[in-house]
Amino acid sequence: MSTTDFDVIVVGAGAGGLFTGARLAHQGYKTLVVERLPKVGGRASTTDIDGFKVNDGAIVIEAGGITQETFAELGIPWEIREPSVPILYRIKGKDVDVTGGGWGFLLSKLTRQGAKLVSGLGAARNDSGLPEDELSTDDWVRKYTDNEGVRGIFRNMCASIFAVSSTELPARVFLTYFTRKSAFKRFGFHPEGTIGVWRALAANIEGNGGEVWCSAQVNRITLDDDGRANGIVVVRDGETQTISSRAVISDVGPAATLDLVGHDVFPDDYQALIKRLDRPCAMIAINFASQERVVEAPGMLSFASTKRMAYVANFTDVCPEMAPPGWNLYVATSVPEPAIGDFDEAAEIELLREDLRANFPGFDERVRELSVTITRDGWPPQRAVAGFDMPHDTPIPGLWNVGDGVKEYANGGTTACAETAGIVVGKAVALLGSPA
C-alpha cells in the first residue's frame, strides 16, 4: 500500500468529473481525477471504429452557454464547430428550417391550433402558468391538440434533450427548460468526436499540476475517525493504493457513491431518498456511414412522425475529420418505451431501423452500419430523470456528487454537468479554504 496526498480527489472522468477537476486545478488545488475506463469522457466519450470517430453517448455540445464559458474561463481553446443551420424538422415529408421563426412558425406547419400552444408556452414564462409536476408533457400538449405531428415533435424533443418520452417527463420541466433555460439554441461537434472536449479538459488539469489516472478502479471512498471523507482506495497497474485528500467529489452517481462509502454510515432517510430518485433512463443509437450523402441536414434532423426515432445527426458536414476520406458519418437515436425500467431491446432497435428505412429510401443498401449502442441501467444517458434529481450534498462532510444525477431543475446533458461542477466546486472551496 502506498500513499499520495491531494487537496481533492474526483472519482470519475466523465463530463461532470472533468469540469470539476479542471475548475479545481485552475484555482491551484492539487487535484486527482480517477477513471476506471482507459479513456476520458465516460458515457459521453468516443470510440474509433475503422477510422470513424463514433460517439458513445453525448452527440452534440452546446455553444454559447456554461460549457463555452467554462472553456473561456480556464483558457482552453473552443473547437466546437456549429452547423450553419443547427436543426431541421421533417414535417409531412419536407425538411423545414424554423430558424428565427420560433415555436409559432414550427407549430403552424403542423396544425391550425398552433397559436393555442404558443399561448400556453407564453403563459409558462410566469410561475402561475407552469403546470403541476404530476402533468406529463404529452398530457399538457393534449390539452391544446391531439394532432399526432405536434405530439411527435414534443415527444422527440423530450427524447433528444432529456432521454425520456413526453409521457415520462413532467410538463413543468419541459416548459421551464424552453422558456427559462438555454433551450439548446446553439450547438456543434468536435472534430475529434465528443472525446475532444474531455481531452482538452484533462490536458488543462494536468497543465495546472493535477493528475488524471485512467484504467484505475476506485474500490472505496475512505473516511477519517470524525466521519469526514479523506481519500480513496484505488487499484492502478495491479497495485492497490491508498490516496489521501482533504475532500472527495464523486461523478459516478449518488447510488454508486453510497456503495463506495458503505451504506451503514449514511442516515436511513438519505438512503431512502437516493433509492427513490435513482431513476436511470435509456437511449438507443445506431451509428452509420455512407459514401453518398444520405442526410441533407447540415446538423440535426428531427421528426414529427416516427415510431421511435427522435433525430439524426450529420457529423461530417462540419467535421469531415470524424470519418475516413469520402465517407459521411451519422447517428440516429431513439428512446425506448418505457425509457425508465425494462424494455425489449431487440424490438426497440428494430423500430428505430424501421424509421430509418421509412425516412431514407434504400437505407439498408446505401449505408454501412457501424454500431448499435444501448445506454441504460448502470450506464444510462442520464442517471436521474429531469425534475427528479438527487442532491449534490451528502451527509458526509467533504463529500459531494456532481454530474447528470444531481442536475439543477430542468436541465440536462453535458451542459447540466458543467453547471453542477461550478456549484460543487464553490462548495468545496468554501470548506477547504486556500489550497494546501
Lowest mean pLDDT among 89-98, 161-170, 186-195, 350-359: 89-98
What's the pLDDT score for residue 114?
76
| Residue 22, amino acid | A
* % of the chain residues with pLDDT over 90: 86
Cis peptide leading into residue 170 (ω within 30°): no
| Beta bridge partner(s), residue 91 | 94
If DSSP states are collapsed to H, E and C, what string results for the chain? CCEEEEEEEEECCCHHHHHHHHHHHHCCCCEEEECCCCCCCHHHCEEEECCEEEECCCCCEECCCHHHHHHHHHCCCCCCECCCCCEEEEECCEEEECCCCHHHHHHHCCCCCHHHHHHHHHHCCCHHHCCCCCCEHHHHHHCCCCCHHHHHHHHHHHHHHHCCCCCCCEHHHHHHHHHHCCCCCCEEECCCCCHHHHHHHHHHHHHCCCEEECCEEEEEEEECCCCCEEEEEEEECCEEEEEEEEEEEECCCHHHHHHHHCHHHCCHHHHHHHHHHCCCCCEEEEEEEECCCCCCCCCEEEECCCCCEEEEEECCCCCHHHCCCCCEEEEEEECCCCCCCCCCHHHHHHHHHHHHHHHCCCHHHHCEEEEEEEEECCECCCCCCCCCCCCCECCCCCEEECCHHHCCCCCCHHHHHHHHHHHHHHHHHHHHCCCC
The arrangement of secondary structure in 101-180, i.e. its CATH architecture, is Alpha-Beta Complex (3.90)
Is the domain 3-45+65-76+193-278+385-432 a CATH 3.30.360.10 member? no
C-alpha grid cell for residue 215? 484504467
Domain with CATH 3.50.50.60 in the chain: 3-45+65-76+193-278+385-432
pLDDT(415) > 80: yes
* pLDDT bracket for residue 4 (50, 70, 90): low
Rounded percentage of the chain residues whose pLDDT exceeds 70: 99
pLDDT tens digit string along 202-259? 999 999 999 999 999 999 999 999 999 999 999 999 999 999 999 999 999 999 999 9
CA gap 305, 301 in Å, rounded:
12
If pLDDT is split at 50, 70 and 90, which confidence band does 365 have? very high
Q: Which fold has domain 281-375?
A: Polyamine Oxidase; Chain A, domain 2 (3.90.660)
Grid cell 444531481 — which residue? 406
pLDDT recorded at residue 57:
87
User: Is pLDDT at 3 greater than 60 in this prediction?
Assistant: no
Q: What is the arithmetic mean of pLDDT over 252-269?
A: 98
40 vs 115, more confident: 40
| Cell numbers standing for residue 347 | 424490438
Give residue-wise pLDDT tens across range 96-117: 998 877 778 888 888 777 788 8
As annotated, the residues of the chain forming the CATH 3.90.660.50 domain(s) are 101-180, 281-375
Residues 395-401: what's their mean pLDDT? 98
Q: Is 52 exposed, middle or buried (0-12, 13-18, 19+ CB in 10 A)?
A: buried
Write down the pTM of the prediction: 0.96
CA dist., res. 2 & res. 293, Å (int): 55
Residue 436 has pLDDT above 80, yes or no: no
Residue 1: pLDDT above 50? no
How do 52-55 and 283-290 pair as beta strands? Answer: unpaired
Distance of alpha carbon 228 from alpha carbon 105, whole angstroms: 55
How far is CA 18 from each of CA 33, 42, 205, 237, rounded to the nearest angstrom?
Answer: 7, 10, 8, 22
Q: What are 277-336's pLDDT values in tens digits? A: 999 999 999 999 999 999 999 999 999 999 999 999 999 999 999 999 999 999 999 999
Non-local (6+) Cβ contacts of 28 within 8 A are: 208, 435
From CA 284, how far away is CA 344, in angstroms rounded? 12
Span 114-127, average pLDDT: 84
Give the separation between CA 168 and CA 161, rounded to whole angstroms: 13
Q: What is the pLDDT of residue 169?
A: 96
